[in-house]
Amino acid sequence: MTAMPATTVPAASPENLPEEVDVLVVGSGGAGLAAAIAAADAGASVAVIESTDKWGGTTMRSGGGMWLPGNPVMKRAGLPDSRAEALEYLEASVGDSGGRASTQAHRAAFVDAVTPIVNRLEDLGMQFATAQAYPDYYPERPGGKAGRSIEPLPYNAKRLGEAFNTSRHQDSLPVPTMNADFYELARAWSTPSGLVRGARLVGRTLAGAASGKKLYGMGGALMMSLMEIVLSQGTPVALETSLVDLVVENDAVVGAVVEHVGERRTIVAHKGVVLAAGGFAHRTEWRERHHGVPGWSAAAEGDLGTAIEIGQRHGAAVELMDDAWWGAGVDTEGEGMNGFVLSERSMPYSIVVGDDGKRFVNESTSYVDFGHEMLKRRDESGAVRPAWLIHEARGRRRYLNTLALQGGKKLKESGTLVKADTLAELAEQTGIDPEGLRDTIRRFNGFARTGIDHDFHRGDSLYDRYYSDPLVHPNPNLGPIERGPFTAIRLVPGDLGTKGGLLPDADARVLNDEGEPIPGLYAAGNTAASLMGRTYPGPGATIGQGVIFGWLGATHAASR
């Protein structure tokens, strides 16, 4: 990117916003900023509003990868892909689980937009790399492969000037880490490749510091890169400015009522309003109604479903409201999710059991499938039954445990993390059925010795083996549970955000219950029902579809 002048994203009052624009974007996450860039790039006047006092949304907290099949970055890296393979894989992985939100038209629009949008973002200064070893989450299905996820190179936050101070930079590590690092960093002190990867990261970090840069990777790099473009285009971004209602004339959306610190005003949007304000991850009433759980989410706190609710008020249809981007999370006594469990449940010398002591899932499977399996296990009251991730001594010693970095003492005090010298003591302290646990571990240890998990096929898929230890034989995902001390971490069905939302068409236009577009209204990101249905095709599928449809929706609006 070319250097830009220092600028700021103020907590602007409504008076500082234009009275009228061509396109108004609601939300400052990945989908929202992509929409703002696209509209301005098409020659439209644009403004962005954000309900919280920080910009960046949930995307700032993410890995920053975008699952974009057939993208030019992977092709330049020598990784072949094609439109036919991408569509074949979407059919094989998503199937009909997306309902009205994942038609053939939606999928074709997504795949066909990847190359021109990535090329344009590169023209505007973004630099991408591909995680070449990171596979699709169902790589053995037709059309599946590795390398479809791309991410920006580490970003120097000093380029943003004062705008950095109003970002969610606290939600992103100030380290130039990339997704391609993580799978080997998990075993940085137990395998040669992990050690080399760790050394490279240290070198990258020191080199950045020596040159006076403030480098961020992953979600931070993505959002800061996008915001630099937004600001260079002259687009105003107003913080602490909430959407209150849409203005509708002759059945078309022509503006919005917004509020800042109790003061309301109307902004005219001549060409359209793009809703990209996230889902409803932190709206407990909706979570209990649609999901049967109070919600344990990694989403930003502004994820309250307001944009979805306002869209419904004006006749918008919704889809997939009962689903989310699930995964295993850790709850600290009602304080919300404290960690999204990924490599910790996949590496050897670990096992996941229910309160009956029995396994119920392939521990190494994709996080959305893991979450769905957790949600199936409910007691007579409908509450999700406890699940525990158990590690033995070698697993704790050999592999990075990010949960411990987030406050092991606090987890122990809350009873979320339990440590014991024997499995019998561990069962007693956690309430796990001791006989069930004993029998399960005896059977599991047999699988570890033979290398074949006859119950759940852990380690069979290339995706399973992405987070594994190649020095463990005969199965890099399986290690026996036999050496104390043992630890158990209580898991909850956490999420990265909700999947259900306003029903869009292939141009991101919001549809009513009759399937007709509501003129002037668009939705993208987690405000829109997911193209990916009830599954998760690959790393960065959430952000990838958000960026693509945010861009498509804003481009369509600008052309009206």
pLDDT value at residue 340: 83
Write the CATH number for 381: 3.90.700.10
**Residue range 458-479, pLDDT digits in tens:** 999 999 999 999 999 999 999 9
pLDDT value at residue 4: 44
Chain centre distance of CA 187: 23
Q: Residue 373 falls within a domain, yes or no?
A: yes
Report which secondary-structure segment, H or E, holds 409. helix 408-413
The alpha carbon dihedral of 398, 400, 405, 407 has a sign of negative
Q: What is the DSSP letter of 292?
A: S
Domain total for the chain?
Answer: 1
Q: Residue 361 falls within a domain, yes or no?
A: yes
- CB-based contact 179:151 (threshold 8 Å): yes
Helix axes 104-123, 30-41, angle to 10 degrees: 70
**Residue range 79-105, pLDDT digits in tens:** 999 999 999 999 999 999 999 999 999
Spatial separation of the C-alpha atoms in residues 441 and 13, rounded to whole Å: 60
User: 151 φ, ψ to 5°?
Assistant: -150, 160
Residue with tokens 């050690």: 195
Q: Residue 86 falls within a domain, yes or no?
A: no
Other beta carbons less than 10 A from residue 532's beta carbon: 28
pLDDT value at residue 296: 92
Q: Residue 430 falls within a domain, yes or no?
A: yes
**Residue range 144-189, pLDDT digits in tens:** 999 999 999 999 999 999 999 999 999 998 999 888 787 888 888 7
Q: Residue 166 falls within a domain, yes or no?
A: no
Is the peptide bond prior to 474 cis by the omega test (within 30 degrees of 0)?
Answer: yes
pLDDT value at residue 9: 59
**Residue 384, domain extent:** 326-495
Q: Which residues of 270-282 are buried (b: 16+ CB within 10 A; e: fewer)?
A: bbbbbbbbbbbbb
Q: Residue 350 falls within a domain, yes or no?
A: yes
Which of 480, 488, 477 is CA-nearest to residue 401? 488
Q: Residue 406 falls within a domain, yes or no?
A: yes
Ranges of the chain with pLDDT below 70 = 1-16, 332-338, 403-408
- How far is the first Cα of the chain from the last one, in angstroms, to the nearest whole number? 30
* CA distances for 328 relative to 202, 254, 537, angstroms: 29, 42, 17
Q: Which residues of 319-346 are buried (b: 16+ CB within 10 A; e: fewer)?
A: bbbebbbbbbbbbbeeebbbbbbbbbbb
* CA distances for 331 relative to 170, 296, 338, 354, 491, angstroms: 20, 7, 6, 16, 7
Task: Determine the residue type at 455.
Answer: D
* CA distances for 157 relative to 217, 221, 377, 514, angstroms: 10, 8, 44, 46
